[in-house]
Chain A
Amino acid sequence: MARDVVITGVGVVAPGGIGSKPFWDLLVSGRTATRTITHFDASPFRSTVAAECDFDAQAEGLTAEEADRLDRATQFALVAAREALEDSGLAGDGPDPCRTGVTLGSAVGCTTSLEREYVVTSHGGRDWLVDPDLAVPHLYDYFVPSSMAAEVAWAAGAQGPCSVVSTGCTSGLDAVGHAVRLIEEGSADVMVAGGTDAPISPITVACFDAIRATTPRNDEPATASRPFDRTRNGFVLGEGCAVFVLEERERARARGAHVYAGVGGFASRCNAFHMTGLRPDGKEMAAAIETALDEARVRPDEVSYVNAHGSGTKQNDRHETAAFKKALGDHARRTPVSSIKSMIGHSLGAIGSVELAACALAIENGAVPPTANLYEPDPECDLDYVPLTAREARLDVVLSVGSGFGGFQSAMVLTRPGRAEQ
């Protein structure tokens, strides 16, 4: 018998608020959390805006030792995982450790800590032969990011399958998709799954500067992220994390768990085109959407909301609009599509999970988050992007998509609880 997967816990660390409630409040308010970078002096860089989290590790319950040793992205993951487990009712009296696993998405791992330690061990960048005597004892944990999933597994008491999924900017979506497959096939009954990244560091800012992927709109930081707007000129780097508790549906039902949504379908494709470039026709993303809808046994015209990748680069928003039209046909013009990156920026390997959290909360709360900063429609992007203001709506089927460097295109379908049984 097929095993279906439901979301029973949500935890979020996002710019503008720690916790799923402040996160949702920000989204429906249409406020933005983008600002001039404060993590370091970004003035020598082309893009100096970012969506930063106001995060105090110890105030969020981590020990001083954890605050010192763990990369910021790992800290986010621990805080979000704890919220998700408490939310699910599984904290403390956990499930069988051997039947519980972890998949964590991250595009750049512990890159911020690696860079910090590089600066120390290279004496401020001067020495190619870095100094081993200055290396912290846990340097290897920054070097190989599976350490991030290990920390979450220890915190969750999980001894089943454990890994990091690192498919660039679709990591957060793909990590949840991977966890869903592990439950479906019976390798686990409960998965703690999500995505985390804290990439706001000089090397990451510089690498996106070098290809002009991020916006140079430095004088208007609060409105710098402009998905689907005619004046968009690049994405705003962000940071954050979302973690879910995923469970086999009958198990969740048997224990009377609150269910946010069912995971109806998931699919991923590659464009085999270019490491950073996108073909304008959106073909592979459309193929991923069609396959995910098929798996969910949902017709394109049943999609009640699309959470777009909507990064705010010229090529992405055009690519994606074409993909929606190809996959959803005429319905693409009738269904609301929005990008929360307009408010919380693009947190790379985390954002797929953060956007999925927005989708689960949208179903739960009966509202569609808006696309902020969308004042001047682009004739090439001619769908209903829910400009500026959230909308109340009953959402039965929600589609979330992601697109990443390396050519990855992913799509996931969430369904309102109870819908699958109808």
Chain B
Amino acid sequence: MNAVVVTGLGVVAPNGLSTEEYWNATLAARSGIGRITRFEPERYPATLAGEIRGFEPAAHLPGRLVPQTDHSTRLSLVAADEAVRDAGLDTGQLPEYGVGVVTANSAGGFEFGHQELDNLWRKGPEYVSAYQSFAWFYAVNTGQISIRHGLRGSSGVLVADEAGGLDALAQARRLLRRDLDAVLTGAVDGSLCPWGWIAQTSTGQLSTAEDPALAYRPFDERAAGFVPGEGGAILVVEDEAKARARHAPRIHGRILGHAATFDPRPGTVPADDASALTRAVELALADAGAVPDDIDAVFADAAGVPHLDRAEAAALGAVFGARELPVAVPKTLTGRLCAGAGPLDVATALLALRDGVLPPAAHTQPSPRYGLRVVVGRPLELRLRAVLVVARGLGGFNSAMVVGASH
């Protein structure tokens, strides 16, 4: 089967508003987590988030797009623009239906939706925006990216909580194997408005710490929840032969394998059951034609919730045995970006493969009880050929992806 390669990266993250800005911040362990500024968080049980600050939409997007889009959609358009530029993709030169868009989402343009609920219930139906019907729904980012870049090939939108972002990349790969030349894919997510915030705090999984250095500490004895954030990544993925034929300026790496599984019903197994996650990792390796020894590092889901951290450590232990496989958790610097997390981890993994270095996790002191070699302190230089990226969504969604170096 033809190889699927990544030729363009676009990143919008709390610690960097472009791929290189993000990568530099990540290697320097600069965190984007802080007290929420977009609304007054005082009354809420959690007050920290990975916010993207200083983003001026008008500096990046045509003025007419601003009133009709949610903050997260604007960010997704900026990420898509960077990815297309990075890939040197001239979509006009590709077949009419040769390029598609596949994104994942968790809650759509939720802040936009909050504003319109406010208009409806405080003022009345006639105050609801004419853009509401398409600004808040889950398909919005795919639709707007498709329009902005004139992409008319087979496209899609997946929702599988935090696992959905990897599933979107896998769907893009599936479409490339059928008939597409290129796909813009990934996810940019985030719902940092009061209404989205209480939905997230309702899970009881968010850290209630007020000090950013003490909040999101996966695989730590003191782990007590995570910090959510906003952002993600959009990638250009292509069939390798076609990318080479058009002289794509660079190949960041390959998407080698993927699998998605779903946990047994809660209550039928222990809360830290790792069976379905283990199977996802095994199937992703099999899909990549890889054995555990081929994997040089893991980008962990790292929920920061003890029973979920235990399950992930158990799954990695089951597959990789006693190997001291380095585990990277760059999301300790951004917070968990829901659907955006998987694509951002894949983008980070590709940068790590390129530069032969794993970024350090911040704030966490890994506990030996998990048996994982979490990279902390300073970047770890090593030769990387292939890495595993894990993403898990609330409710039982597991997704695993293997990405490999370009050479």
B157: interface (CB < 8 Å): yes
Q: A161-B261, A203-B120, A209-B128 are in contact. Are A128 and B196 (CB under 8 A)?
A: no
Set of chain A residues within 8 Å of B144, measured between Cβ atoms: 275
| Interchain CB contact (< 8 A) of A146 among B97, B155, B164 | B164
Set of chain A residues within 8 Å of B196, measured between Cβ atoms: 143
User: Which of A18-26, A133-141, A376-384 participates in binding chain B?
Assistant: A133-141
Tell me the B245-273 residues at the A interface (CB within 8 Å): 259-265
Whether B128 pairs with A210 at a CB distance below 8 angstroms is: yes
Residue of A nearest to B104 (CB): A163
Whether A102 pairs with B132 at a CB distance below 8 angstroms is: no
Q: A150-B397, A287-B97 are in contact. Are A272 and B152 (CB under 8 A)?
A: yes
B139: interface (CB < 8 Å): yes
Whether B261 pairs with A160 at a CB distance below 8 angstroms is: yes
Residue of B nearest to A287 (CB): B97
How many A-B Cβ pairs are below 8 Å?
Answer: 252
| Interchain CB contact (< 8 A) of B122 among A126, A157, A268, A406 | A126
B334: interface (CB < 8 Å): no
Residue of B nearest to A406 (CB): B143
User: 27 pairs across A/B with beta carbons < 8 Å?
Assistant: A98-B279, A125-B118, A132-B198, A135-B202, A136-B202, A139-B198, A143-B196, A144-B159, A144-B161, A146-B160, A146-B161, A147-B395, A159-B276, A160-B260, A164-B159, A165-B157, A168-B134, A187-B260, A207-B133, A210-B128, A269-B154, A270-B151, A271-B152, A287-B97, A405-B134, A406-B134, A407-B143
Majority secondary structure of chain A interface residues (helix, strand, loop or mixed): mixed
| Interchain CB contact (< 8 A) of B139 among A153, A273, A406 | A406
A276: interface (CB < 8 Å): yes
Q: A206-B128, A210-B128 are in contact. Are A128 and B194 (CB under 8 A)?
A: yes
Whether A408 pairs with B155 at a CB distance below 8 angstroms is: yes
Set of chain A residues within 8 Å of B66, measured between Cβ atoms: none
Whether A139 pairs with B395 at a CB distance below 8 angstroms is: no
B322: interface (CB < 8 Å): no
Whether A270 pairs with B100 at a CB distance below 8 angstroms is: yes
How far is A194 from B40 in the complex, measured between Cα atoms in Å?
A: 41
Set of chain B residues within 8 Å of A97, measured between Cβ atoms: 264
Set of chain B residues within 8 Å of A270, measured between Cβ atoms: 100-101, 142-143, 146, 151-153, 155
Q: A125-B122, A139-B198, A284-B152 are in contact. Are A153 and B262 (CB under 8 A)?
A: yes
Q: A140-B202, A185-B174 are in contact. Are A210 and B133 (CB under 8 A)?
A: yes
Tell me the A316-366 residues at the B interface (CB within 8 Å): none
* Interface range on chain A (Cβ under 8 Å from partner): 35 or more
Tell me the B111-148 residues at the A interface (CB within 8 Å): 113-114, 116-118, 120-122, 124-125, 128-130, 132-134, 137-140, 142-144, 146-147
A154: interface (CB < 8 Å): yes
Instruction: Give how many B residues have a beta carbon under 8 Å from the other chain's beta carbons.
Output: 81
A202: interface (CB < 8 Å): yes
How far is A129 from B40 in the complex, measured between Cα atoms in Å?
A: 8
B105: interface (CB < 8 Å): yes
Known: A166-B139, A167-B139, A268-B156. 18 other contacts (CB 8 A): A98-B261, A121-B195, A130-B198, A143-B110, A146-B106, A153-B396, A159-B264, A162-B160, A163-B167, A166-B105, A168-B137, A210-B128, A270-B152, A270-B153, A272-B149, A272-B150, A275-B134, A405-B133
Min distance, Cβ A211 to any Cβ of chain B, angstroms: 5
A124: interface (CB < 8 Å): yes
B18: interface (CB < 8 Å): no
| Interchain CB contact (< 8 A) of A207 among B116, B151, B338 | B116
B200: interface (CB < 8 Å): yes
B241: interface (CB < 8 Å): no
| Interchain CB contact (< 8 A) of A159 among B44, B113, B157, B261 | B261
Whether A118 pairs with B161 at a CB distance below 8 angstroms is: no
Whether A276 pairs with B202 at a CB distance below 8 angstroms is: no
Residue of A nearest to B171 (CB): A178
| Interchain CB contact (< 8 A) of B199 among A135, A213, A291 | A135
Set of chain B residues within 8 Å of A393, measured between Cβ atoms: none
Q: A144-B161, A145-B159, A276-B133 are in contact. Are A44 and B124 (CB under 8 A)?
A: yes
A107: interface (CB < 8 Å): yes
Residue of A nearest to B125 (CB): A206
Whether B154 pairs with A268 at a CB distance below 8 angstroms is: yes
Whether A146 pairs with B393 at a CB distance below 8 angstroms is: yes
| Interchain CB contact (< 8 A) of B200 among A46, A122, A143, A149 | A143
Set of chain B residues within 8 Å of A131, measured between Cβ atoms: 198
Whether B261 pairs with A408 at a CB distance below 8 angstroms is: no
Contact indicator per residue, chain A 224-258, by CB within 8 Å of chain B (1) or not (0):
00000000000000000000000000000000000
How far is A406 from B101 in the complex, measured between Cα atoms in Å?
A: 11
A101: interface (CB < 8 Å): yes
Set of chain B residues within 8 Å of A185, measured between Cβ atoms: 174
Q: A132-B201, A150-B395 are in contact. Are A161 and B121 (CB under 8 A)?
A: no
B347: interface (CB < 8 Å): no
Whether B159 pairs with A146 at a CB distance below 8 angstroms is: yes
Set of chain A residues within 8 Å of B393, measured between Cβ atoms: 144, 146
Whether A125 pairs with B43 at a CB distance below 8 angstroms is: no
How far is A45 from B159 in the complex, measured between Cα atoms in Å?
A: 31
Whether A404 pairs with B139 at a CB distance below 8 angstroms is: yes
Tell me the B90-106 residues at the A interface (CB within 8 Å): 97, 100-101, 105-106
Set of chain A residues within 8 Å of B317, measured between Cβ atoms: none
Whether B43 pairs with A129 at a CB distance below 8 angstroms is: yes
How far is A157 from B396 in the complex, measured between Cα atoms in Å?
A: 13
How far is A44 from B122 in the complex, measured between Cα atoms in Å?
A: 14
| Interchain CB contact (< 8 A) of B158 among A44, A137, A163 | A163
A55: interface (CB < 8 Å): no
A109: interface (CB < 8 Å): yes
B107: interface (CB < 8 Å): yes
How far is A211 from B128 in the complex, measured between Cα atoms in Å?
A: 10
Whether A406 pairs with B202 at a CB distance below 8 angstroms is: no
A3: interface (CB < 8 Å): no
How far is A124 from B123 in the complex, measured between Cα atoms in Å?
A: 11
B203: interface (CB < 8 Å): yes
